[in-house]
Structure 1
């Protein structure tokens, strides 16, 4: 199964430019590159910052832009989004792809850039299901190459510790950093960061540089019936 991860799209209600860039055109460029590079996705996962302005109109414009893919879409809110708007426009936060379960987790917190995760609540969700291979999708990563306070997740250590006894979780995919990365928890759980479709960030300790030559694009997630996850970053 082929899952296409998109992140940090930053659509607006009117199509205005964000950071001097056309978010609509950038998404179209990335989608065109994705469809040329692979057979097409079985599922699309959007890991937050669907919008730049949090509006229903922006979310609906994004839904319309993704509709030609003709596949299910799982989306979670980011710090720029309004969770109720995202869940109304994209009501799916748990999906299946082959023998896998993909679980969306809302890590946004009202009025804040950094994130938080309700560890107890998410563990209750996981423990209520069978132990098929599972992929978690969230905006803020529980492991980050950045030390900047904006890019941290409250509860991350507790979540990763709890997953050591839940081996059905084969990986975690995230956005927020506008930067592709691949890390592993102490227990070996992969934590993958997705590039933004719009604009790249560069992270160096606590320093953040917006723009530059780092990658924009998407991430392909390849899920096998044997429960293995492989991934490639597509730049566009």
Structure 2
């Protein structure tokens, strides 16, 4: 069993702050599927690991559970059915944004990493998992304004044959207007800022020259400019199946590890008058974590490098301490 008290501090940040203590659990990259097993994702454990995260978060009495996406393996209808069955059992408010694996891709006949099934359109994700059924959104959690962005699809379909991300010009403009109206924004999105990707490039250059790099955020400049100009204190992301902290201007990004692959965990963000404390909560015991470590480490050069990166980060917690 995973103890409800198992945790380690990932970061202590000066901001955001809140007069009333607020706790948000973040679950990412669960990649649930009832029809696959093995690989670096340990697919046959994915559903149970997500259930463990949700159950543990509820035991802690968090104010909300949110997800930066990739809740499903590849957005197949049967994967969404399994996800809905899992989510049906929780009472804590839950909402999220889609990841690149949650949305339709081109057929595998034209795109190697595409879909071999009919993935529901992104508005199905919005309807089921976004507040008021739309993305982008602002959802109040205690004194915090959680601002959700879709980085997984574009109105022109330009992300159909890639797992890169982007934020549309329309949504960047919406974000700029919205940030002028909220007091304590926390931005939730799947893909990452350049500062976070740079850490993977640094890893490659320092220790793993043959590793591949993860899909990136395309044309991130306008988005980053809006975030930094508005002095957004916190961005919460996923996508990288790793834990990390990166800073651009006064904006911190915290990326959430996968519940599915090593280092199987979720994060709890606790915001109070002192600032924000981010805690890492594992969702597997020693045996399960060993299985996940071996599965990811042995799945090729890139997976081996990412596994070593996760281990390094776990060994050097907290990654940031501003207090």
Maintained 8 Å contact 2:27/2:53 = no
Q: Which runs of 5+ in 2 are unaligned?
A: 1-21, 104-121, 132-136, 153-158, 202-211, 284-323
1:146–1:114: structure 2 CA closer, same or farther, 3 Å change rule?
farther
**Counterpart in the other structure of 2:185:** 134
Q: Which moved more, 1:131-140 or 1:64-73?
A: 64-73
Greater relative contact order (CA < 8 Å, ≥ 6 in sequence): 2
Larger gyration radius, structure 1 or structure 2: 2
Q: Give TM-score scaled by structure 2 length.
A: 0.61
Higher-strand-fraction structure? 1
Maintained 8 Å contact 2:32/2:43 = no
After the TM superposition, which segments of 4 or more aligned residues of structure 1 sit over 6 Å from their partners? none
Once the two structures are TM-superposed, the CA of residue 68 in structure 1 deviates from its matched residue by 2.9
Q: Secondary structure at the match of 1:124?
A: helix
1:94–1:63: structure 2 CA closer, same or farther, 3 Å change rule?
farther
2:200 equivalent among 146, 153, 175? 146
The 5 A counterparts of 1:75-154 are: 75-82=96-103, 83-92=122-131, 93-108=137-152, 109-119=159-169, 121-128=171-178, 130-142=181-193, 143-144=196-197, 145-147=199-201, 148-154=212-218
User: What is the CA–CA distance in structure 2 between the aligned matches of 1:122 and 1:59, rounded to whole Å?
Assistant: 29
**Mapped pair 1:25 → 2:75:** no
Query: How much is the aligned-residue C-alpha RMSD, in angstroms?
Result: 2.3
**Counterpart in the other structure of 1:172:** 235
Once the two structures are TM-superposed, the CA of residue 216 in structure 1 deviates from its matched residue by 1.5
**Counterpart in the other structure of 1:194:** 256
Q: Give TM-score scaled by structure 1 length.
A: 0.81
User: What is the CA–CA distance in structure 1 between the aligned matches of 2:163 and 2:228, rounded to whole Å?
Assistant: 28
Maintained 8 Å contact 2:145/2:185 = yes
Maintained 8 Å contact 2:29/2:260 = yes
1:110–1:165: structure 2 CA closer, same or farther, 3 Å change rule?
same
Higher-helix-fraction structure? 2
User: What is the CA–CA distance in structure 2 between the aligned matches of 1:173 and 1:15, rounded to whole Å?
Assistant: 30
Maintained 8 Å contact 1:60/1:89 = no
User: What is the CA–CA distance in structure 1 between the aligned matches of 2:274 and 2:222, rounded to whole Å?
Assistant: 24
Give the paired residue count: 216
1:94–1:62: structure 2 CA closer, same or farther, 3 Å change rule?
farther
User: What is the CA–CA distance in structure 1 between the aligned matches of 2:49 and 2:130, rounded to whole Å?
Assistant: 25
Maintained 8 Å contact 1:21/1:198 = yes
Maintained 8 Å contact 2:97/2:130 = no
Q: Which moved more, 1:130-139 or 1:146-155?
A: 146-155
User: What is the CA–CA distance in structure 2 between the aligned matches of 1:127 and 1:227, rounded to whole Å?
Assistant: 28
Once the two structures are TM-superposed, the CA of residue 32 in structure 1 deviates from its matched residue by 4.2
User: Once the two structures are superposed, what CA deviation does each residue of 1:157-191 show, in whole Å capped at 9, x if it has no partner?
Assistant: 33222222212x22101111000001111x12110
1:227–1:9: structure 2 CA closer, same or farther, 3 Å change rule?
same
**Counterpart in the other structure of 2:61:** 40
**Counterpart in the other structure of 2:3:** none
1:35–1:71: structure 2 CA closer, same or farther, 3 Å change rule?
closer
